[in-house]
Amino acid sequence: MGPLIYVIDPERCTECVGHFDEPQCVSLCPVDCIPMDEAHEETEADLQQKYQRLISENKT
């Protein structure tokens, strides 16, 4: 849609677990172009652990 290309970092993406009921990038994308990366499939428990790790890193 424009000159900017956004890249989702799989090391930081929690698919919004801990924040929202659904991934916000998918719900807000105006062209429905955010595929799920089969190389980085994670369970809800995995995503929750990542969320906890990320918020604890931000506190230090």
- Among left, alpha and beta (phi > 0; psi -120 to 50; other), residue 5 is beta
- How far is the first Cα of the chain from the last one, in angstroms, to the nearest whole number? 37
7-21, 24-38, 43-57 — most confident range? 43-57
Q: Indicate if the alpha-carbon torsion angle 36, 1, 19, 49 is positive or negative.
A: positive
Which domains does the chain show, CATH number per domain?
A: 13-34+43-60 (3.30.70.20)
Q: What is the pLDDT of residue 55?
A: 92
What per-residue confidence (pLDDT) applies to 2? 65
pTM of the entire structure? 0.73
